[in-house]
Amino acid sequence: MYNVVFLGAPGAGKGTQAAVVAEKMGMVHVATGDLFRKAIASGDELGKQVKSYLEKGQLVPDKVTVAMVLNRIGQLKGVKGVILDGFPRTLAQAEALDEALKATGGKVGRVIYLAAPEAELVRRLSDRWVCRACQATYAGADKAESDSCRKCGGELHQRPDDTPETVQKRLSVYFKETAPLIDYYHKAGSLVEVDGTGEVEAITGRVVAALKKA
């Protein structure tokens, strides 16, 4: 199984790109944020455990996050590859992932680091509309054309953690906890930096090219 990690700040476009690229390349998209939000919506034990972290823009503890992701990966049988979107987000998570993959003879094959300037991240997050049902994201201009999701007809809403204060908190958590992974994966030789600015299709082209080169 080909394991790919999408790395980047909130608003860098990881979710949008991971969904499109997974579909194009026949890979499975695993988004930790989506898994947590689903658990919260269902009101299950995991949801109760993680709700307050997401509301405050803080990271869910490594132990809970790693267990959830490894469990999800473990369920994937006979798939060509997986795109991890939003995981790992700490060094401890990256090390736990390496260890778990190594135990099954696997590894992180490629890390796509989507880079975008901070002002662009803030602009995108404050203009982001998300489908409640399938998590597809839209910009305000798309929302002005239609109030419902083009993919599944679901209702579009703004994420409760996309408020200005929580966005600032998430960005500072990213720079402190997650940005060190750029160096970690660079040293491992698996990192490719991709320009995350411009049109969605153009960015997808760059990501696919970076994966095909691998």
Q: Which stretch binds ligand AMP (CB under 6 A): 29-37, 105-113, 145-153, 184-192?
A: 29-37
Of residues 51-70, those binding ligand AMP (CB under 6 A): 53-54, 57-60, 65
Among 5, 17, 30, 89, binds ligand AMP (CB under 6 A): 89
Of 1, 2, 6, nearest in space to 185 by CA: 6
Choice between 67 and 79, CB closer to ligand AMP: 67
Q: Which stretch binds ligand AMP (CB under 6 A): 32-40, 98-106, 108-116, 143-151?
A: 32-40
Tell me how far, at minimum, the Cβ of 78 lies from ligand AMP, in Å: 25
Choice between 155 and 209, CB closer to ligand AMP: 155
> Does 36 sit near ligand AMP (CB under 6 A)?
yes
The answer to whether 108 and 5 are in contact (CB under 8 A) is: yes
Active site annotation includes 159:
yes
Active site annotation includes 110:
no
The answer to whether 18 and 83 are in contact (CB under 8 A) is: yes
Choice between 80 and 131, CB closer to ligand AMP: 131
Residues in contact with ligand AMP by CB under 6 A are 10, 32-33, 36, 53-54, 57-60, 65, 86-89, 93, 161, 170
